[in-house]
Amino acid sequence: MTRLEPYLKEIPTWGAIPFEGCRPLLECRAAERLPAEAKAVIVCGFPYYTGEYPGRNLSRYAIVPDYHKVAGELMEQACIRLREAFQREFQWFADNSPIREVDAACRAGLGVRGRNGLLIHPVYGSWLFLGAIVTDLDMETRETEIRSCVGCGACQKACPSGCIGEAGPDPDRCLSAITQKKGELTPEEILLIRKGGLLWGCDRCQEVCPYNREPVLTPIAAFRQEIRPILRREEMTKEIRSRACGFRGPKPLLRNAEILEQSSDC
Ligand code: B12
Ligand code: SF4
Ligand code: SF4
């Protein structure tokens, strides 16, 4: 492991596991980029907590510059150094990834798996993004058993849609997914958006989690720049280009804004 350290200095937290244990892979087009003889996965964590912003109308992960770009840039730089040093393939993935990132991070020893389905790091809590560098280098890996959180149940009680079971959240009922949906929403979904009060995403299961009681600020400078806790209608189309809430275009955000405005009218 130590021989990789000089090339991964910019990655705040990481661990390496065998690629084989990452199966079954998630279906996605990015899987085409996997090295044909993949042997190991370097799982990377990117903390993003930047402070409290009362009155924000976006979930925390969307108030910072788009993590796909920020984490992508850090992993790309690491890959360039690693390719040069080892003359092997190194491919990075973030979110749009064949790797089930939470499972991989738990197995790489980055933290525990919360009942809310998220990776909880001992220092940064669950406020960190994940990414993976997959390589065909025959390298040292270290795998740990997946450990669970203390199971206090606070996330289940606080979840606006009541979608968290013992195995984790039901992705179809999660409010975060509902805010991202295209087109018309059902009356129940509209009520949920009003209950959550955000234009995009949901943080309730993280805010109540005891592991997040004393959040530590991100060491990543790019996340501390251009923080936008409030997204206004008139700036949406331009602003979302550099945010994680932009990949569906402005329509779902505009619809959600209308839903929230209507609730404040009544
Ligand atoms: C699709 C996806 C979503 C979907 C579905 C989430 C889900 N749990 O499946 C939606 C849009 C809902 C979502 C929301 C969020 N996401 Co997301 N998401 C992903 C993505 C791209 C794939 C996840 C996946 O499909 N995993 C495979 C499934 C099988 O594993 P699983 O999610 O652990 O599923 C378990 C449970 O959900 C449960 N389950 C599954 N189906 C059902 C059905 C029922 C009925 C029940 C009861 C349970 C249940 O059992 C499964 C096995 O244990 C990952 C990136 C990646 N490549 O991994 C990011 C990722 C997990 N998301 C992330 C984030 C930040 C979020 C949000 C916090 C964003 C926000 N603030 O709104 C929320 C949190 C919601 C939550 N509590 O999980 C981060 C998590 C970082 C961390 N610290 O763990 C990731 C890793 C992205 C990243 N690169 O950083 N996400
Ligand atoms: S993100 Fe919100 S809706 Fe989804 S599981 Fe967490 S609290 Fe529930
Ligand atoms: S709130 Fe409690 S049960 Fe939920 S993830 Fe945190 S420690 Fe686990």
30-64 residue pLDDT tens: 999 999 999 999 999 999 999 999 999 999 999 99
- At 10, list the tokens: 């910019």
Tens of pLDDT along 107-143? 999 999 999 999 999 999 999 999 999 999 999 999 9
- Taking the chain, what is the end-to-end CA distance rounded to the nearest angstrom? 59
AA letter at 192: L
- What value does the mean pLDDT take over residues 259-264? 86
Cβ proximity of 44 and 201 under 8 Å:
no
Domain boundaries, the chain: 1-266
Q: Rounded to whole angstroms, how far apart are CA atoms 115 and 176?
A: 16
Measured in Å, residue 6 CA sits from the centre of ligand 3 at 35
Residue whose C-alpha is closest to residue 9's, from 78, 96, 68? 78
Tokens 């910019």 belong to 10
pLDDT above 90: residue 3: no
**Ligand 2 binding site (Cβ under 6 Å of any ligand atom):** 116, 159-161, 163-164, 169, 174-176, 202, 204-205
Helix (H, G, I), strand (E, B) or coil at 43: strand
> In the structure encoding, which two tokens stand for residue 114, read together?
């919360």
Please give the C-alpha separations between residue 143 and each of 30, 39, 43, 93, in angstroms, as whole numbers.
24, 13, 11, 20
pLDDT tens digits along 153-199? 999 999 999 999 999 999 999 999 999 999 999 999 999 999 999 99
| Ligand 3 site residues, Cβ closer than 6 angstroms | 114-116, 149-155, 208-211
Pocket test for ligand 3, best of 102, 106, 112, 115 (most atoms within 8 A of CB): 115
Q: Which protein residue has the closest C-alpha to ligand 1 atom 46?
A: 170
16 has pLDDT over 60: yes
DSSP summary character for residue 35: -
Contact between residue 259 and residue 194 where contact means Cβ atoms under 8 Å apart: yes
Amino acid at 64: V
Instruction: Encode pLDDT of 198-235 as tens digits.
Output: 999 999 999 999 999 999 999 999 999 999 999 999 98
Q: Decide: 95 in ligand 1 pocket, CB within 6 A.
A: yes
Ligand nearest to the CA of 177: 1
Strand ranges for 97-204 from DSSP E: 112-113, 119-120, 128-135, 164-165, 168-169
4 burial (CB, 10 Å; 0-12 / 13-18 / 19+) is buried
Does 2 have pLDDT greater than 60? no
Q: Indicate if 95 belongs to the active site.
A: yes
Which atom of ligand 3 has the smallest separation from the CA of 115?
5
Each residue of 56-99: pLDDT tens digit?
999 999 999 999 999 999 999 999 999 999 999 999 999 999 99
Catalytic residue chosen out of the listed positions 95, 136, 138, 172: 95
In angstroms, the CA 228 to CA 48 distance is 13
Confidence (pLDDT) at 260: 96
8 Å CB contact between 169 and 205: yes
Ligand 3 pocket test, pick from 112, 119, 149, 208 with the greatest ligand atom count within 8 Å of Cβ, gives 149
Measured in Å, residue 61 CA sits from the centre of ligand 2 at 14
Q: What does the DSSP assignment read for 189-230?
A: HHHHHHHH--SB---HHHHT-GGGSSPPPPS-GGGGSS--S-
Give me the pLDDT at residue 266, please.
52
For ligand 3, the distance from its centroid to the CA atom of residue 237, given in whole angstroms, is 36
pTM: 0.96
Indicate which residue's Cα is closest to atom 2 of ligand 3.
Answer: 152
The pLDDT value recorded for residue 26 is: 98
Q: Tell me the helices (H) and strands (E) count for the chain, helix number first.
A: 9, 8
Do 193 and 179 meet the contact criterion of CB atoms below 8 Å apart? yes
DSSP letter assigned to residue 114: P
Q: What is the pLDDT of residue 263?
A: 73
148 pLDDT band, cuts 50/70/90, is very high
